Structure 1
Amino acid sequence: MTGYEGGAPRELGVPGELGAPGELGVPEGLADGLAEDLPEPGAVTVVVPTFNEAGNVRELLRQVTMSVESRLPCEVVFVDDSTDDTPAVITEAARDCPFPVTLIHRDKPAGGLGGAVVEGIRAATSDWVVVMDGDLQHPPSLLPELVAAGERASATLVVASRYTKGGSRAGLAGGYRVAVSRASTWLTKGLFPRRLRGISDPMSGFFAIRRTAVTADALQPLGYKILLELAVRCRPRTVHEVPFVFQDRFAGESKSGVAEGLRFLRHLVGLRTASPLARMLVFGLIGLTGFVPNLAALWGLTHAGLHYLPAEIIANQAGVAWNFLLIEMLLFRDRRQHRHWADRTARFALLANADLVLRIPLIALFVSAWHLAVLPATALALLTTFVLRFAGTEALVYLPRRTRKDRKTGAPNADSTSRTGPTSRSTA
């Protein structure tokens, strides 16, 4: 990592000198009013993930300066994945700020926007961390209220919500984005009713959280819905909401699109299948869908004149391939790096076809030894091979390999730890 100094930043925890009312854009009476309302402590790290937001940086820092006065010591951490001149703009704009500004530029944006937020939380030094977008759709004027509300309510997490009384989604462009936002909210709350209790806007990207409530290594962000990740995996004890009006974008274009939508759906599946029981259920549902390509291939092969026995074996491979693709994409996406794709494919195919070899002897055993009728014996054999196939898939295909040193020390394999790309860090 490299560092450089610019603009004589102050250490976090020392009140920023914003000057007399009216200087540096602070309106008359604002500082006094905030000082009366804000309880101690007030230190906050503002984490701003950016991707090509050069046109928004100066205005964002100006509004943060106007909103945060001397009773709320502040630092801003930009985690930047940009391909334009955003890092240079951040460096230049930071020279005029009365608080420290840190720039972390990632060469490889692992985890997308969510991964950038986790990187920023790791770099935070304050009691409170506020996460907000860099396009000014999240109003910086709400920063003091988020922290103050958290202190007043002794909350762990404070969510700026568009869907609580006084909030609005006015800045969402067009009926399509409004519909997608609402549908996503309903879907997530339906999938996680207990974890998201008390959160009316789980899709919000604007929130404050106590740094002690976040276990960064437990997070597995994928895409831009980091609040959902934090709420489900870190389980904050007390949640409070503050209404906010979603603003129009100040400059640039939205990064939302079909690709981000697909990443969001994969993220939902990953969160929902975090427990072994949930993974087994999804594994079974995927297995059921495999009957469709299996039967279609069997029909085609037998109608082409192939004998039904070799046709059964070949058609079974169509179902195996279908199941493998879905399991790779939906169920074990985050574990694919532990083995080469050819190794995973061969192991999965071997396990799936072993099911055919094992099932018939099991049925014979259940009928002869346990005196079961053929139908219940077949059902029990199917259930047994299903459980064995699931356990084998987890253990032999997708769990990271342990080295001889790992087995001796009991240490986790290095492949099982989360990885981020190279970063460069600057304090401006």
Structure 2
Amino acid sequence: MNLNSPKSLLTVPTGSLQISELLPTYVDADDEPIYFSLIIPTYKERDNIYHIVKILTQLLDEFIPDKYELIVVDDDSPDRTWEVAQSLTGEYPQLQVMRRQQERGLSSAVIRGWQAARGQVLGVIDGDLQHPPEVLTQLLRGIQEGADLAVASRHVEGGGVSSWSVVRRFLSRGAQVLGLVILPSVLGRVTDPMSGYFMVRRSAIAGATLNPVGYKILLEVIGRGTIGGITEVGYVFCERKEGESKVTWKQYVEYIHHLVRLRLSTGRLGRVRRKINFPIDRFLRFGLVGLSGVFVDMAILYLLSDPATLGWPLTRSKIIAGEIAILNNFLWNDAWTFADVSMRQQEWHQRLKRFLKFNVICLAGLVLNVLVLNLVFNFIIPNRYIANLIAIAVATIWNFWVNLKLSWRVTDVK
């Protein structure tokens, strides 16, 4: 075999996002131990990948020669970043490449890379050269001196941002303040909890099932890992020279979602949740879908029952509005709330079976809804819209719990 020929691509790990304390199965017992594994998650970075690999190799060859590996995890970039990276493996033997075709997202890419990694210390760095590579050696020193986690921070001495707009600075700081309010036990431990440039001991996160949303994987590491000492090193976040920025409003929404999820699954709330075994995340998605159904329901109810429109009787109008909202909610729940189950049962008859169950359960909920609506409207609050909202809330809890137990279950798979 030609020593300069590219290596084969790494197999993408599957299953839960959990880091094992044991080395991956593909590692031979005779292989030299690796101290540090650095993950470089990429998407459309073919213009940067050669430069980042070259710079990192030069740095680490001097600091820990032959004791490190670089793993590029590419989300099947349309510019074939993974192919460019694979072509470099002959020149850089410490480089390995993983091409993900079924999953997407920076956080899960990092975790899949860590699952395939051999190092005692696991790290992550952006592939766009916005994280200065020379900071790596300072982070490694922090780990060697006993820290479980070493974070590159923009908010300590020596840190900053190069040319951010006032709006972006405001959003970044605002997100941090919001995080301190929602999850002080996690965000209060570091000055830059939104940093995507850090390293952690494998033993500090081994066995924890990570469940990230969006880009901010550091929140998961601190929130779910067993993190003792933390050290921070200042760095200046640079503007990218090649490629396009991937920061959008979606990342801020995912950040808030991530904070809420961690808040509900860790600490006292997490312990309570585990005791009652109630799927809060799924219920929140179900609730958001139900909120879309509220708008559908309210709009149809107005068109049918309001004296200024058709002026139909309230009960008849409510039944029609509710059935249309049921169809809306099923489509969204099947595609999002219970997508993990739906993906394993995609035959048309399976989908029809789920819809029929959902419809029957929701029709029972609709009966409950109508009863509560009339009870509240006639005896408590003589306002049709407030009464309707209360009726919807009661029916939502019924619909979620019974559908969870009956409609979206894996009972027929190949």
TM-score, structure 2 as length reference:
0.71
Are residues 1:59 and 2:57 paired? Answer: no
- For 2:246, the equivalent position in structure 1 comes to 255
Aligned with residue 304 of structure 2, among 301, 306, 317: 301
Please state whether the residue corresponding to 2:187 is helix, strand or coil.
Answer: coil
| Contact 1:52-1:85 at 8 Å conserved across structures | yes
Aligned with residue 89 of structure 1, among 70, 84, 87: 84
Aligned with residue 211 of structure 1, among 202, 205, 209: 202
Using a 3 Å threshold, how does the CA distance of structure 1 residues 360 and 59 change in structure 2: closer, same or farther?
A: closer
- Post-superposition shift, 1:217? 8.0
Greater Cα offset, 241-250 or 116-125:
241-250
Aligned with residue 135 of structure 1, among 102, 117, 128: 128
Summarize deviations over 1:10-33 as a string: whole Å, max 9, x none.
96548xxxxxxxxxxxxxxxxxxx
Summarize deviations over 1:389-428 as a string: whole Å, max 9, x none.
3322322344x4156xxxxxxxxxx99xxxxxxxxxxxxx
Aligned-partner Cα distance in 2 for 1:349–1:80: 41
| Contact 2:154-2:192 at 8 Å conserved across structures | yes
Using a 3 Å threshold, how does the CA distance of structure 1 residues 85 and 322 change in structure 2: closer, same or farther?
A: closer
| Contact 1:111-1:222 at 8 Å conserved across structures | no
Aligned-partner Cα distance in 2 for 1:11–1:266: 41
Specify the code of the residue in structure 2 equivalent to 1:214: I
Q: Which runs of 5+ in 2 are unaligned?
A: 8-29, 266-272, 374-378, 382-386
Aligned-partner Cα distance in 1 for 2:97–2:391: 58
Summarize deviations over 1:73-127 as a string: whole Å, max 9, x none.
2111111232224334324444444x6111112233x032222212210111111
| Contact 1:111-1:223 at 8 Å conserved across structures | no
Q: Which runs of 5+ in 1 are unaligned?
A: 15-42, 364-373, 404-413, 416-428
Specify the code of the residue in structure 2 equivalent to 1:190: V
Using a 3 Å threshold, how does the CA distance of structure 1 residues 113 and 307 change in structure 2: closer, same or farther?
A: same
Aligned-partner Cα distance in 1 for 2:2–2:206: 29
- Post-superposition shift, 1:167? 1.6
| Contact 2:153-2:159 at 8 Å conserved across structures | yes
Aligned-partner Cα distance in 2 for 1:4–1:271: 48
Please state whether the residue corresponding to 2:143 is helix, strand or coil.
Answer: helix
Please state whether the residue corresponding to 1:158 is helix, strand or coil.
Answer: strand
| Contact 2:156-2:234 at 8 Å conserved across structures | yes
- Post-superposition shift, 1:311? 1.0
- Post-superposition shift, 1:134? 0.7
- For 1:348, the equivalent position in structure 2 comes to 358
Please state whether the residue corresponding to 2:39 is helix, strand or coil.
Answer: strand
Summarize deviations over 1:220-262 as a string: whole Å, max 9, x none.
4454332233334446444432222112223222233355556
Using a 3 Å threshold, how does the CA distance of structure 1 residues 346 and 4 change in structure 2: closer, same or farther?
A: farther
- For 1:392, the equivalent position in structure 2 comes to 402
Aligned-partner Cα distance in 2 for 1:355–1:182: 44
Identity across matched positions, percent? 30
Aligned-partner Cα distance in 2 for 1:312–1:195: 46
TM-score, structure 1 as length reference:
0.69
Please state whether the residue corresponding to 2:185 is helix, strand or coil.
Answer: coil
Please state whether the residue corresponding to 2:123 is helix, strand or coil.
Answer: strand
- For 1:150, the equivalent position in structure 2 comes to 143
Aligned-partner Cα distance in 1 for 2:352–2:177: 39
| Contact 1:126-1:211 at 8 Å conserved across structures | yes
| Contact 1:198-1:240 at 8 Å conserved across structures | no
- For 1:21, the equivalent position in structure 2 comes to none
- For 1:6, the equivalent position in structure 2 comes to 4
Using a 3 Å threshold, how does the CA distance of structure 1 residues 299 and 70 change in structure 2: closer, same or farther?
A: closer
Summarize deviations over 1:337-365 as a string: whole Å, max 9, x none.
354455554433332221243578999xx
- For 1:35, the equivalent position in structure 2 comes to none
Aligned with residue 310 of structure 1, among 302, 312, 316: 316
Greater Cα offset, 236-245 or 288-297:
288-297
Aligned with residue 184 of structure 1, among 138, 154, 175: 175
Aligned-partner Cα distance in 2 for 1:347–1:273: 30
Using a 3 Å threshold, how does the CA distance of structure 1 residues 387 and 223 change in structure 2: closer, same or farther?
A: closer
Please state whether the residue corresponding to 1:190 is helix, strand or coil.
Answer: helix
- For 2:24, the equivalent position in structure 1 comes to none
| Contact 2:139-2:152 at 8 Å conserved across structures | yes
Aligned with residue 44 of structure 1, among 22, 33, 36: 36
Q: What is the total number of aligned residue pairs between the two structures?
A: 362
Using a 3 Å threshold, how does the CA distance of structure 1 residues 150 and 70 change in structure 2: closer, same or farther?
A: closer
Aligned-partner Cα distance in 1 for 2:144–2:177: 29
